[in-house]
Structure 1
Amino acid sequence: MTTYIPSITLPALVFQNPAASILLPIALGTAVGFSVRPKETQKTYLALKQPPYRPPPQVFGPAWTVLYGLMGYAAYRAHSTGTNPLSSASQLVNFKQGATLYTVQLGLNLLWMPLFFVAKRPIEATVDIVALTSITGYLTYVWSKVDPVAAWALVPYLGWLGFATYLSAGVGYLNGWSIGDKEVEKSPAGKGTKFIDEKEE
């Protein structure tokens, strides 16, 4: 059973204020994205052998902005329902337990990009995202017992994490779990493609 741990849980003020709840993960995600130098990150991404169905680099920014917003909205909904005086004691308990899970998953989420693109440790990054996906799945279940809308708001995020886990593991495997010093300035000459391993049409 999940335990509510105040010392590692975001303050209640974050959950109870809709703007703070929604904007916090967006702001943190954006800050991490810029801190790892987007241009260098894209060069590394293009240089790596990729599994099928990988999206172009420009998809990730808008996708994560939406998903972070939904994540924050889920947190606000769970708080507003779980702490409502008309709600049951079990709803309050499940919200608080979920709040700890939410904080942990947010930390794991923000850790993935530095692990993968700065430290260039695909094994550790894949372990991180597997743990992140598992915790988010359990969080979705816990908050479904508080507010169904909160749980449904997490479903796109959970689906994307499943896909991201596939990409992380696929890239690690195809590159021998070593991505150090892999960069390209642009698509390989004459190929007109976006990824180093794409074949010419």
Structure 2
Amino acid sequence: MTTFIPSITIPAAVFANPAASILLPVALGTAVGFSVRPTDTQKTYLALKQPPYRPPPEVFGPAWTVLYGLMGYSAYRAYSVGMSPFASTEKHLLVKHGATLYTIQLGLNLMWMPLFFWAKRPIEASVDIVALTGVTGYLTYLWAKVDTVAGLALAPYLGWLGYATYLSLGVGYLNGWDFNDKVVDASPSTKDSKWVDEKGN
């Protein structure tokens, strides 16, 4: 079981307030998204060779907004149920351990986009998302023991992370783990697809 580390954990007051708990990851995720310059991000995305079943770039914004909201709701739900005066000591401890894990996974989440698109470091970004998925999987397990709804609220996020890990590793592999100079101004005019295809033609 992980250790509760107050110095790196989001304050309890945030978890206890439903609006703050939900809006925090949404606001941070949105801020990071805009700080990485969406136009350049899309140009890089369009230039990269993509694995099968990749989504169009416009899907990511709405999907992440929903997932961040569910993440925040899960945190609020776990805290409100697990820290109730009527909850067991075991649940109190699980919530505190989960709060530190939650903070760690949020930090790993926010690091991925700058690593992948701004720094163009696909290896480090892939290590980050693999770690993120592992931490989130364990967090989902812990908070499901506190409250079933809290665990279920994290399930779509965990599922998406599995898919995003496949995409991150697939893109890195297909592009030789090197994103330097991988930018296009628009979709190739000779292609029906919006993306550079898997063969790099």
Same fold by TM-score greater than 0.5: yes
Q: 2:146 is paired with a residue of what secondary structure?
A: coil
Q: Which residue of 2 aligns with 1:65?
A: 65
Equivalent runs, 1:138-153 vs 2, <5 Å: 138-153=138-153
Equivalent runs, 1:13-24 vs 2, <5 Å: 13-24=13-24
State the identity as a percent: 75
Equivalent runs, 1:169-188 vs 2, <5 Å: 169-188=169-188
Equivalent runs, 1:97-108 vs 2, <5 Å: 97-108=97-108
Equivalent runs, 1:42-191 vs 2, <5 Å: 42-191=42-191
Q: Which residue of 1 aligns with 2:3?
A: 3
Alpha-carbon separation, structure 2, partners of 1:45 and 1:197 = 12
1:161-188 deviation per Cα after TM superposition (whole angstroms, max 9, x unaligned): 0000000000000000000121111111
Alpha-carbon separation, structure 2, partners of 1:90 and 1:183 = 51
The answer to whether structure 1 residue 32 and structure 2 residue 3 are counterparts is no
Structure 1 segments (4+ residues) deviating >6 Å = none
Counterpart amino acid of residue 187 in structure 1: S
Q: What is the Cα-based RMSD across aligned positions, in Å?
A: 0.9
Alpha-carbon separation, structure 2, partners of 1:8 and 1:198 = 41
Matched-pair contact (CA < 8 Å) for 2:187–2:195: yes
Alpha-carbon separation, structure 2, partners of 1:143 and 1:193 = 41
Counterpart amino acid of residue 62 in structure 1: P
* Deviation at residue 145 of structure 1 after TM alignment: 1.1
Change (3 A) 1:166 1:126: same
1:75-110 deviation per Cα after TM superposition (whole angstroms, max 9, x unaligned): 000000011001101000000000000000000000
Q: After the TM superposition, which of the residue ranges 178-187 and 98-107 deviates more from structure 2?
A: 178-187
Q: What TM-score, normalized to structure 1? A: 0.97
* Deviation at residue 190 of structure 1 after TM alignment: 2.4
Alpha-carbon separation, structure 2, partners of 1:191 and 1:116 = 25
Counterpart amino acid of residue 20 in structure 2: A
* Deviation at residue 198 of structure 1 after TM alignment: 6.4
Counterpart amino acid of residue 102 in structure 2: Y
Matched-pair contact (CA < 8 Å) for 2:49–2:195: yes
Alpha-carbon separation, structure 2, partners of 1:181 and 1:148 = 46
1:38-77 deviation per Cα after TM superposition (whole angstroms, max 9, x unaligned): 0000000000000000000000000000000000000000
